[in-house]
Amino acid sequence: GAGVSQSPSNKVTEKGKDVELRCDPISGHTALYWYRQRLGQGLEFLIYFQGNSAPDKSGLPSDRFSAERTGESVSTLTIQRTQQEDSAVYLCASSLDVGSNSGNTIYFGEGSWLTVV
């Protein structure tokens, strides 16, 4: 596609339920990132996928959060047993990633707005 596509764009869920958020990166982009942004706050890095390498999960806030990526395509971010503190916009981004000194640009999607009630 022309850009990073995320779905759903909005999701309201009850506390304790599981949610899945989907990201379709730009075609050909090998690197994929998830960020979270709570209302009025900055972007927090969650997880990074690069090709067949082990993902960088250093930003995942708890074991309720997990993400998968199939090859170099779609990624799913799963939040189990959602809490009200999980309410945020979840942003996905992708880039080409050809190694050191690449300077390749990261492009963001419009995000999935999650509200836990």
Partner 1 sequence: DAKTTQPPSMDCAEGRAANLPCNHSTISGNEYVYWYRQIHSQGPQYIIHGLKNNETNEMASLIITEDRKSSTLILPHATLRDTAVYYCIVRVARAAGNKLTFGGGTRVLVKP
Please report, as ranges, the residues that interact with partner 1 according to CB under 8 A: 4, 31, 33, 35, 42-43, 45, 48, 50, 53, 56, 91, 93, 95, 97, 99-111
Q: Could you give the 3-state DSSP secondary structure of residue 58?
A: coil
Residue 99 phi, psi dihedral angles, 5° rounding = 110, -160
Q: In angstroms, what is the minimal distance from the CB of 60 to partner 1?
A: 13
- Nearest distance in Å: CB 69, partner 1: 15
Query: Which of 80, 106 has the CB closer to partner 1?
Result: 106
Cβ closer to partner 1: 25 or 109?
109
Amino acid making up residue 35? Y
Task: Give the residue with the Cβ less far from partner 1, 45 or 83.
Answer: 45
Residues 112 and 8 sit within 8 Å (Cβ to Cβ): yes
CA distance 109 to 112: 9
Minimum CB–partner distance for residue 77 and partner 1 (Å): 15
Least distance to partner 1 from the beta carbon of 65, Å? 16
Q: Which of 3, 4, 30, 17 is nearest to 114 (CA)?
A: 17
> Cα separation of 36 and 108, whole Å?
12
